Each structure stands twice: as C-alpha cells, then as structure tokens.
Amino acid sequence: MPERSTTDAIFVALQVMEKYREKRKPCYLAFLDMEKAYDRLPRAVLWIALRLSGVPKRLITVIRDNYERSKAANSTRGDKERRILYTDDIALVADNQEELEDKVQLWQRALTDNGLRLNVKNTKFISSEQCAGSILDYQGKAIEKVEEFRYLGSNLSEEGSVDQAVREQTNAAWLKTLKGKLYRTVVRPALLYGSECWALGKALERQLHAAEMRTLRWACGWTRRDRVRNEDVRAVMKTAPIQLKMREQRLRCYGHVLRRPEDHPTRLALDFEAPGKRPRGAPRKRWKDVIKRDLAEVGVTDALGRIRWRQITRTADPVTARD
C-alpha cells in the first residue's frame, strides 16, 4: 500500500526494540510465516478489504474480473497486485512470554478463519531476556526462540543491536555475483567500446583476454598463484569469454550494415574499393576477413532476418540471456 514500505516495517521493529531497551524492559517479538499466504487469501476477503480501504468500485470490478473471468494468461515475472502489506511478514510485540503466546494463538485462529494457515516451522520469536524455551501455538506445536531473525531482509537480534545487520549488508554489498554484474554492465562495455569495428588478429584477442582475466581474478581476490582455472573464475563471475562477446558485437554490427539501404554511408564503406592493385604478400588483417571467420564459427550466412540473426549470433553470459 502507498506510504508503507519494507523499510518502514524494519524501522518500526527497531524503534520498538530500542524503546524497550531504553526502559530496560523485556521485549518479545514473534514473526509469523504463512503457508502460501498470497495464494491462500480468499478472493471474497480481498474484495471486502479493497472496499473498506476506499478503492473505487470500478477498480475492484476490474481486479475481480482479472481473477475470475480470465481464460488465458501470459507468463510474467512477479505477482499481479503485490501490495497487500506483506501478508506473510507479520511481527507481533509483547511484554512477556505468556502475552506473546496468547497473541500468536489469537492471530493463528483469525488467520485460519480467513483461509490462511500458520507455518509453525518457519515462525520464530526473539526475546531480550532469557526465557524458558519455546512458546506454543493453539494446536500445541512449539514455536522456536532464536537469537536473531532476518525480517524483510534485515537482521534483528534479541539484544536489539544492529551489529549483525551491518555485517550482513557489508558482505552483501560486494558479493562476487555483484562484482560480476558490475563487470558486465560497466567495465566490459568500456573495454569493448568500438570493438565491433576492429579487425583483430588472434594475438590482440589474446591480449584482451589476458586483461579481462586479470580484472576478474582481482575482483575475486585471486592471483595466478592460487591456480584457479579460467573456467572456474568465469563460473563464479557469471561472464562469457570476451572473445565471444566481441564476435557477437561484430556480427550484430555486420547485420545492421547489411540491412541498411545501399546508399547508406556504412554500406558504401563496406562495398568501397580503393583504386589500384594490391601488392604482393599477405595483406594485413581486414575487417571482412574477421567477419568471414566469425560467420564460419557460428555457421550462418544470412544477416537480413534480424531476429533470427541475433538469436544465432548472440553470446549470453551464464547469469542472464539478456546480455
């Protein structure tokens, strides 16, 4: 819902724990987890909740039709209307263990009456004082006490300190997967800028390959003395070899040029022949020679079908098919 983010919920939880700690009073927090909360929510309850929240009847009708009269659907990432106040991330606060147990049982009954089911195994609670073990739900199942709990992506400890949260976020901020993502989106594009126009020989490709591997090993904190294979470094960083990415860019450029009108400057430059005869001896590597080699490697000759051309010539990184 508007004005209610996950950060707001984390702020409320930390402030409550801070205020209790300031007065040196015990603080108990239970974190409820529902079994398939979003899927189990009865549709009738959803329409009532929307109406009570002031949503116009016209919009409620549109949403209801989307669920009840749909005959077909497109597969997309994420949920449809994912704004129902974190149904499976409810936190309950109490002054003592008995009060917390009563609140959990009360909520559990209310959830059951509305078609939801508490996942006791994943429901946990923390306490600022040493209490005697677990609390019970209304069916007599034990709810475990833990020293810390990850609530909405942030670690909450029983002391109310943020030490562990800082450590977790510090580690998460510079994961190898994040380094790989930064390399693919920032470093590699800068390294390959204009490379689709280059007529590179194998020696220069090896030079770029060596530069790439030095960068990736540095990002992983490894050197050649660690004797980690290049393939393993790439697997960790989720990156395709730079030679294949250069080939992809060259073939993409070549396809664009061939699809241009014959009077376009790039097409004229491709077909241009300087006057005179070629001297004896092997000529320097030409762009068309590199393209010929690339086409032979991927096994295509037609660049006019744009979608098919890209499907065949692209080289995706292991982590994503969009690069």
Last residue within a domain, chosen from 173, 200, 231: 173
Domain count, the chain: 2
State residue 38's pLDDT score: 54
Q: How do residues 31-82 score in pLDDT, each as one tens digit?
A: 988 876 555 566 777 788 888 888 888 888 888 877 776 665 555 554 444 4
pLDDT over 80 at 122, yes or no: yes
pLDDT over 50 at 120, yes or no: yes
Q: How do residues 271-287 score in pLDDT, each as one tens digit?
A: 888 888 878 777 778 88
Least confident of 172-186, 265-279, 306-320: 306-320
In a domain, 1, yes or no: no
Question: Using 50, 70 and 90 to split pLDDT, how confident is the model at 170?
Answer: low
In a domain, 53, yes or no: no
Mean pLDDT of 279-300: 83
Instruction: Note whether 115 and 238 are same-domain residues.
Output: no
Instruction: Note whether 187 and 202 are same-domain residues.
Output: yes
pLDDT over 80 at 258, yes or no: yes
In a domain, 208, yes or no: yes
Instruction: Note whether 165 and 196 are same-domain residues.
Output: no
Mean pLDDT of 16-31: 87
In a domain, 209, yes or no: yes
Instruction: Note whether 193 and 256 are same-domain residues.
Output: yes
Instruction: Note whether 116 and 215 are same-domain residues.
Output: no
Instruction: Note whether 193 and 309 are same-domain residues.
Output: yes
Instruction: Note whether 32 and 109 are same-domain residues.
Output: yes
Q: What is the CATH number of the domain that holds 134?
A: 3.30.70
Instruction: Note whether 92 and 135 are same-domain residues.
Output: yes
In a domain, 37, yes or no: yes
Mean of the per-residue pLDDT values for the chain?
A: 80
Instruction: Note whether 183 and 161 are same-domain residues.
Output: no
State residue 321's pLDDT score: 46
In a domain, 49, yes or no: no
pLDDT over 70 at 244, yes or no: yes
What's the domain range around 225? 176-272+283-313
State residue 209's pLDDT score: 92
In a domain, 57, yes or no: no
State residue 39's pLDDT score: 54
Q: Give the rounded percent of residues in the chain with a pLDDT score beyond 70.
A: 80
Last residue within a domain, chosen from 151, 173, 195: 173
pLDDT over 80 at 132, yes or no: no
CB 206, CB 226: distance < 8 Å: no
Instruction: Note whether 180 and 95 are same-domain residues.
Output: no
In a domain, 52, yes or no: no
* pTM for the whole structure: 0.51
Instruction: Note whether 97 and 229 are same-domain residues.
Output: no
Mean pLDDT of 183-187: 89
Last residue within a domain, chosen from 130, 146, 173: 173
Instruction: Note whether 91 and 231 are same-domain residues.
Output: no
